[in-house]
Chains A and B, each alone.
Chain A
């Protein structure tokens, strides 16, 4: 018997507002505990919430970008439960009249595009952070995160594998980044995905009992957790067992999940409209304005890069993975053209430098204007790739101007045959053994000799010319 895996995602994303959803506290990450709080977000008696307009604005963008139907009248409800990360004893959320329903997000599968349904998008406030001390008698509580605005984006169970879930989350992440509503950092928890998984015999129309997976802190962990859970369920069912409806916690170290609690009684959250907040009416005018402000979405960008800029699918995909890359790419191309060369540089040296420096693409302080000039110098053969790398480092570290730096340090490419020949002669004279080895059939030695000749000219020689001349000399016995 073959089995189908059914996956649905509940994604929580922190909105990138500067202040919290119901008070003026800042939303900075990584501050000392309980320093970004006020009576409102720490639930003091008598404190009242006042809604941040930007939250609605951002939520509208997400609804529009995912083709959701937007409710013309939305309300906030209290979700009542007790937990130390929830200082009011309820979370302000949306149950009865959420902002959006019935949207979709298109993912790419081996069989082509597939639309994944979005069941609902609603707004809520984040809870605080708890630190569980396994030895100690207490749990440590930090309210800094209380009241950070969240969107919960609930997909339909339309995904059929870990790969599809991964692509959905990646597409969603790109979308959210490009419309500027979140920084989507899974490692900081600003994007969190809970996953519902069930399996059923291929062809069956009945959904199996599902389990909910939590605590995956990266895309990779999510994929592993889904694959693990799907295998686990199939094994149980094949052996004649039954799946229990439960929440399971992914353990990153052991690469397996553990049952948390069995949902015997579904929790009774007693949702009711929050009397401290008035309803929000979203008229067509507001929707139209927001729609007009939406930037080009990543899918459209990707298509445009393929068709009008002639990039490969791989290049287009990398450049549309983050708005910082796409913006840099487009701004640079706008100055110097040469889309392929710019794409090559960004995907190569730029990202490599970011990697080495452990920083984000937008953190390298090189303007598109300077980058354009560097790409032009390289593409027009004025400098070698090695020189370009050297200049690029100077641009990053010392804000060097590429043309000026090349000029002052005399880095232009050497194309003069006499100079190059002299350098080759010098290298061959210094390494007679290598020359002999080559002539005895050891072709590999040539690379070494190219390097030695290059070194004589401080790496500035036209590599093609140098190669050609060296070959000629090696193949011409003295």
Chain B
């Protein structure tokens, strides 16, 4: 018999609605899985078991009274720890916010909770979701449920690892340069980086405001679509949100043109990834899509522009962490000199990687550097977007790899910032242009580590992406593969 944690989010939601499984039972099961696995995987920073259990009881009461609730009501979820949750610690995996409890919830949380969602834990990530790895977390790295010798990817590895380990049925993460997509790809999950502005950022602790987007992580595109249906839509508290119609419908792939940028398949790409991605393209062709080669440069220019813009915005976004109102305070605060106090707090409160980003951003915004770097990067951003638009004028969707390699081992990644960014070569364009990108699992490498591929669409084609993803997953079973024996004593 299928265990509860092997169900998809929608499947569990249906069983809860049909009162085959109770919401408190789902919460208990999730807590049990966390107890069993999380000391190994380290996907979670905070477990909010008590409040989750109370919420579950309240929802169950309404269901027992015959009330009809939205499809994911009663299904526990995990939330990346840079998304504000009222009364639940929100640390951004940084010492700077190790004790910070927000006085308000992010709009996405309000919307999910209103629909019966139960926040059961806050997931681990790279500090402030800043690097392409989660090793910079103040709470230690997230290991990959498929192989604990490997990382879950980053920076948002915790939300993917929590879902892959069967601790929760879906999760919310953020994606600034590919974070959510990388960790989904490395953990064999489906994840969407929505169109910029389609999901409110209110309450997301900003890394790079013009690139950040919150998105769903789940077993399938259908589950992601169910989450999007709840969280997408304009928010009066976020001026950058856009009115968007989100209505995924079953789609016929006949006549759909999918562009395959040939430049993606460079020698740097792990050969197994190239093969699996080609196979996914072939599978979509079998389903009726037309695969066309397209000329699209996914060159280093985009990565460089991303790196500078992200650093510049982050340097200002992280200026509010000064030890005066909330968060970390040095043990021996020197109150006699203001500048010393700031420097102490920030030097000790931020990890080395965050300090490096802040230094880069501060430098390129300062006099003598702004025009040459920040302004040039903002011009490059226009070019990247126009290139992507041109490519998407010739086809409906683009298909690319997600990462040049499968999940890395701890300590194996590049130690300098620029090379860390280069690992995002397939993903940053979607952030710079604001276009949506969906990651779907498409195989395993020789170490049994998952491989994913990415579909990129035009702005506001989120529904189409998820419908195509669902069609693909109806014909394939990669998304149903489970990590073997994770954390279970053998």
The answer to whether the Cβ of A345 comes within 8 Å of any Cβ in the partner chain is no
**A84 surroundings in chain B (CB, below 8 A):** 324, 338
The answer to whether the Cβ of B389 comes within 8 Å of any Cβ in the partner chain is no
Taking a contact as CB atoms closer than 8 A, the residue among B210, B316, B336 that contacts A80 in the complex is B316
The answer to whether the Cβ of A189 comes within 8 Å of any Cβ in the partner chain is no
Are B312 and A82 within 8 A (Cβ)? no
> Cα distance A138–B341 when bound, in Å?
12
The answer to whether the Cβ of B335 comes within 8 Å of any Cβ in the partner chain is yes
Chain B min CB distance to A471 (Å):
78
Chain B residues 338-357 with CB under 8 Å of chain A are 338-339, 342
Are B100 and A88 within 8 A (Cβ)? no
Chain A min CB distance to B359 (Å):
13
The answer to whether the Cβ of A39 comes within 8 Å of any Cβ in the partner chain is yes
Closest residue to A266 on the B side, CB-wise? B367
Closest residue to B103 on the A side, CB-wise? A39
Are A270 and B370 within 8 A (Cβ)? yes
**B84 surroundings in chain A (CB, below 8 A):** 45-46
The answer to whether the Cβ of A51 comes within 8 Å of any Cβ in the partner chain is yes
Closest residue to A43 on the B side, CB-wise? B320
Interface segment out of the listed B60-68, B111-119, B231-239, B481-489: B231-239
Taking a contact as CB atoms closer than 8 A, the residue among B239, B319, B320, B338 that contacts A51 in the complex is B239
The answer to whether the Cβ of B435 comes within 8 Å of any Cβ in the partner chain is no
> Cα distance A78–B206 when bound, in Å?
15
Are B316 and A48 within 8 A (Cβ)? no
Are A44 and B370 within 8 A (Cβ)? no
**B342 surroundings in chain A (CB, below 8 A):** 82
Known contacts A89-B316, A90-B316, A138-B335: A44-B102 contact under CB 8 Å: yes
Chain A residues 434-473 with CB under 8 Å of chain B are none
The answer to whether the Cβ of A278 comes within 8 Å of any Cβ in the partner chain is yes
Taking a contact as CB atoms closer than 8 A, the residue among B106, B236, B313, B335 that contacts A275 in the complex is B313
Closest residue to A277 on the B side, CB-wise? B239
Closest residue to B96 on the A side, CB-wise? A45
Interface segment out of the listed B40-48, B197-205, B405-413, B464-472: B197-205
Known contacts A46-B202, A51-B239, A277-B239: A272-B370 contact under CB 8 Å: yes
Taking a contact as CB atoms closer than 8 A, the residue among B106, B319, B326 that contacts A89 in the complex is B319
Chain A residues 95-117 with CB under 8 Å of chain B are none
Chain A min CB distance to B238 (Å):
5
**A89 surroundings in chain B (CB, below 8 A):** 316, 318-322
Taking a contact as CB atoms closer than 8 A, the residue among A47, A272, A276 that contacts B312 in the complex is A272
The answer to whether the Cβ of B2 comes within 8 Å of any Cβ in the partner chain is no
The answer to whether the Cβ of A393 comes within 8 Å of any Cβ in the partner chain is no
Chain B residues 19-47 with CB under 8 Å of chain A are none
Q: B234-258 CB contact bits vs A (8 Å, 1 = yes)?
A: 0011111000000000000000000
Chain B residues 289-331 with CB under 8 Å of chain A are 312-313, 315-316, 318-322, 324-326
**Interface SS of B by simple majority:** loop
Q: B112-132 CB contact bits vs A (8 Å, 1 = yes)?
A: 000000000000000000000
Q: B258-293 CB contact bits vs A (8 Å, 1 = yes)?
A: 000000000000000000000000000000000000
Chain B min CB distance to A162 (Å):
35
> Cα distance A45–B320 when bound, in Å?
8
Taking a contact as CB atoms closer than 8 A, the residue among A46, A90, A137 that contacts B102 in the complex is A46
Are B320 and A87 within 8 A (Cβ)? yes
The answer to whether the Cβ of B418 comes within 8 Å of any Cβ in the partner chain is no
> Cα distance A141–B324 when bound, in Å?
10
The answer to whether the Cβ of B97 comes within 8 Å of any Cβ in the partner chain is yes
Closest residue to B106 on the A side, CB-wise? A46
> Cα distance A185–B313 when bound, in Å?
37
**A208 surroundings in chain B (CB, below 8 A):** none
The answer to whether the Cβ of A268 comes within 8 Å of any Cβ in the partner chain is yes
Chain B min CB distance to A232 (Å):
30
Q: A17-40 CB contact bits vs B (8 Å, 1 = yes)?
A: 000000000000000000000010
Closest residue to B365 on the A side, CB-wise? A270
Taking a contact as CB atoms closer than 8 A, the residue among A43, A48, A51, A270 that contacts B366 in the complex is A270
Closest residue to B204 on the A side, CB-wise? A46
The answer to whether the Cβ of A50 comes within 8 Å of any Cβ in the partner chain is yes
Known contacts A80-B319, A138-B335: A278-B103 contact under CB 8 Å: no
> Cα distance A64–B113 when bound, in Å?
48
Are B104 and A39 within 8 A (Cβ)? yes
Chain A min CB distance to B241 (Å):
10
Are B322 and A82 within 8 A (Cβ)? yes
**B315 surroundings in chain A (CB, below 8 A):** 80, 270
B106, B208, B209, most chain A CB atoms within 10 A: B209
Are B97 and A45 within 8 A (Cβ)? yes
The answer to whether the Cβ of A42 comes within 8 Å of any Cβ in the partner chain is yes
Closest residue to B203 on the A side, CB-wise? A46
Are B319 and A90 within 8 A (Cβ)? yes
Chain B min CB distance to A317 (Å):
44
> Cα distance A277–B362 when bound, in Å?
20
> Cα distance A444–B324 when bound, in Å?
73
Closest residue to B238 on the A side, CB-wise? A48
Are B370 and A275 within 8 A (Cβ)? no
The answer to whether the Cβ of A49 comes within 8 Å of any Cβ in the partner chain is yes
Known: A89-B318, A278-B240. 15 other contacts (CB 8 A): A39-B102, A39-B103, A45-B84, A45-B102, A48-B202, A50-B237, A51-B239, A80-B316, A82-B339, A88-B320, A89-B319, A268-B366, A272-B316, A272-B370, A278-B239
In the assembled complex, 27 residue pairs joining A and B whose CB atoms fall closer than 8 Å, in A order, are A39-B103, A39-B104, A44-B103, A44-B320, A45-B100, A45-B102, A45-B321, A46-B102, A46-B201, A46-B202, A46-B204, A47-B104, A47-B203, A48-B201, A49-B239, A80-B315, A80-B319, A82-B342, A268-B367, A270-B316, A270-B362, A270-B366, A271-B365, A272-B365, A272-B374, A275-B209, A275-B313
Question: 8 closest A-B pairs (Cβ-Cβ)?
Answer: A89-B319, A270-B365, A275-B210, A275-B209, A45-B205, A46-B203, A46-B84, A43-B320
- Enumerate chain A interface residues (CB-CB to B < 8 A): 39, 42-51, 78, 80, 82, 84, 87-90, 137-138, 141, 268, 270-272, 275-278
